[in-house]
């Protein structure tokens, strides 16, 4: 396999051209900046769910940054990347129209495949991608995209079905097809900064056709309008019932105030399951098989430190507090996008 891998510099160059005007001139009649911003919100929620799935598959902590989204011609996108890279395309069959494409480099393919086949994720050069690597990575991406579709179904309140994914390893830049997607319109391109444990800090690219992207934006905007109408009807009083209520941090900045989040009124209505963890300990399968009702298991020595997880990902750390018969967690830290933010005292 020849050629250079899709590099961060190439991705940066593509997005920098749209720094001031993220929507290509030909697409300004197709999408508004508000819709584009909302598409970023949808992508953030769905890719977060997909990253949780990948984390469970690889047994590595996954962190993901807030996406940067632009609208441009697909030829410009594919000409910007040097080979080799892998594309995973799924067609929406119900709920949304069009397609969704995920692009990752050969190095990520090799690392993900190695871990899924029992390795450590350490790969040597030159990187060789065979049928086994493609099959393993395609399965991982398939589960990620499936999780993303499920997240959209729950977010929009509609059933979304996708066709089996189509994978294609693009090895030759010169002979590559730079317009492989079934659309003549510009496409919506989102970049996600992804970190997989200590192995990868890279960028995944997601491409969606304009019609599907606009539908996603409209679903969320309609929910936002319904939410605001409901608030207006109750005079601004909103009752939220949860076992535990926490303020979640802003995804892309060390300033975690909710007031800085862009147009997330609808997204904030999505229910989240909070899991409280007192830590982990190791035992053998034999030890576990011997346990009976009434036996005791020792907690880790730092069990007073509680991790709060959403979708398998730690988002909050705090100290376990007790007041009479009531236990609660005093928030000490927020985790976000690969770094830690301490809450101001």
What does the chain come to in residues?
A: 345
H helices of the chain, where?
8-16, 33-58, 74-79, 106-116, 131-156, 210-233, 285-290
Mean pLDDT of the chain: 76
- Residue 25 sits in the same domain as residue 142: yes
- Residue 301 sits in the same domain as residue 194: no
- Residue 138 sits in the same domain as residue 18: yes
- Residue 270 sits in the same domain as residue 319: yes
Long-range contacts (CB closer than 8 Å, 24 or more residues apart) made by 233-242: 242/271, 242/274
Q: Is residue 283 part of a domain?
A: yes
Q: Is residue 248 part of a domain?
A: no
Chain centroid, CA 332 distance in Å: 25
Using alpha carbons, select from 311, 312, 319, 275 the residue that is nearest to residue 151. Answer: 311
- What residues pair up with 188 in beta bridges, in sequence order? 71, 208
Which pTM value belongs to this model? 0.62
Q: CA–CA separation, 251 vs 239, rounded Å?
A: 25
Q: Domain range for residue 91?
A: 8-224
What's the CATH code of the domain at 146? Answer: 3.40.1550.10
Q: CA–CA separation, 237 vs 343, rounded Å?
A: 26
Q: Is residue 144 part of a domain?
A: yes
- Residue 185 sits in the same domain as residue 43: yes
Q: Is residue 106 part of a domain?
A: yes
- Residue 211 sits in the same domain as residue 308: no
- Residue 288 sits in the same domain as residue 141: no
Q: Is residue 246 part of a domain?
A: no
Q: Is residue 233 part of a domain?
A: no
- Residue 214 sits in the same domain as residue 263: no
Is the confidence at residue 249, as pLDDT, over 60?
no
Question: Strand pairing of 326-336 and 161-162?
Answer: unpaired
Q: What pLDDT is recorded for position 71?
A: 92
User: How many domains does the chain contain in total?
Assistant: 2
Is the confidence at residue 228, as pLDDT, over 60?
no
- Residue 61 sits in the same domain as residue 186: yes
Is the confidence at residue 188, as pLDDT, over 90?
yes
- Residue 125 sits in the same domain as residue 22: yes
What's the CATH code of the domain at 335? Answer: 2.30.330.10
- Asked which of 200, 224, 248 is the last residue of a domain, the reply is 224
- Residue 111 sits in the same domain as residue 18: yes
Q: pLDDT digit string (tens) for 297-333?
A: 877 766 678 888 776 677 788 888 877 777 888 888 7
Contact 113, 132 (CB under 8 A): yes
Q: CA–CA separation, 193 vs 65, rounded Å?
A: 5
Q: Is residue 184 part of a domain?
A: yes
Q: pLDDT digit string (tens) for 253-300?
A: 333 333 443 444 444 555 667 888 877 777 777 777 788 888 888 777
- Residue 73 sits in the same domain as residue 217: yes
Q: Is residue 250 part of a domain?
A: no
- Coil, helix or strand for 187? strand
């Amino acid at each position: 396999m020849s050629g250079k891998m899709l590099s961060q510099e190439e991705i940066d160059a593509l997005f920098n051209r749209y720094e001031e005007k993220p929507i290509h001139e030909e697409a300004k009649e197709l999408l508004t900046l508000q819709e584009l911003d909302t598409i970023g919100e949808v992508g953030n929620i769905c890719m977060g769910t997909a990253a949780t799935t990948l984390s469970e598959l690889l047994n590595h902590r996954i962190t993901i940054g807030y996406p940067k989204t632009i609208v441009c011609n697909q030829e410009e996108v594919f000409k910007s990347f040097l080979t080799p890279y892998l594309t995973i395309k799924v067609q929406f069959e119900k709920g949304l129209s069009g397609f969704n494409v995920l692009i990752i480099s050969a190095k990520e393919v090799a690392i993900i495949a190695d871990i899924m086949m029992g390795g450590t994720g350490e790969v040597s050069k030159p990187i060789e991608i065979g049928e086994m690597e493609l099959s393993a990575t395609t399965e991982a991406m398939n589960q990620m995209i499936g999780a993303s579709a499920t997240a959209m179904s729950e977010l929009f309140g509609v059933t979304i079905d996708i066709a089996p994914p189509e994978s294609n390893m693009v090895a030759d830049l010169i002979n590559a097809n730079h317009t492989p997607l079934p659309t003549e319109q510009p496409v919506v391109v989102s970049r996600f900064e992804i970190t997989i444990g200590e192995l990868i800090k890279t960028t995944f690219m997601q491409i969606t056709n304009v019609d599907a992207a606009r539908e996603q934006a409209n679903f969320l905007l309609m929910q936002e309008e319904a939410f605001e109408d409901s608030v207006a009807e109750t005079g601004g009083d909103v009752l939220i019932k949860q076992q535990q209520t926490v303020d979640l941090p802003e995804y892309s900045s060390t300033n975690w105030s909710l007031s800085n989040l862009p147009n997330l009124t609808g997204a904030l209505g999505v229910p989240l399951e909070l899991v409280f963890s007192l830590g982990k300990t190791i035992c053998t399968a034999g030890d576990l098989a011997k346990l009976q009702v009434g036996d005791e298991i020792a907690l880790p020595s730092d069990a007073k430190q509680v991790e709060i997880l959403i979708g398998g990902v730690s988002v909050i750390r705090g100290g376990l507090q007790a007041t009479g018969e009531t236990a609660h967690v005093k928030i000490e830290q927020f985790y976000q996008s690969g770094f830690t933010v301490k809450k101001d005292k």
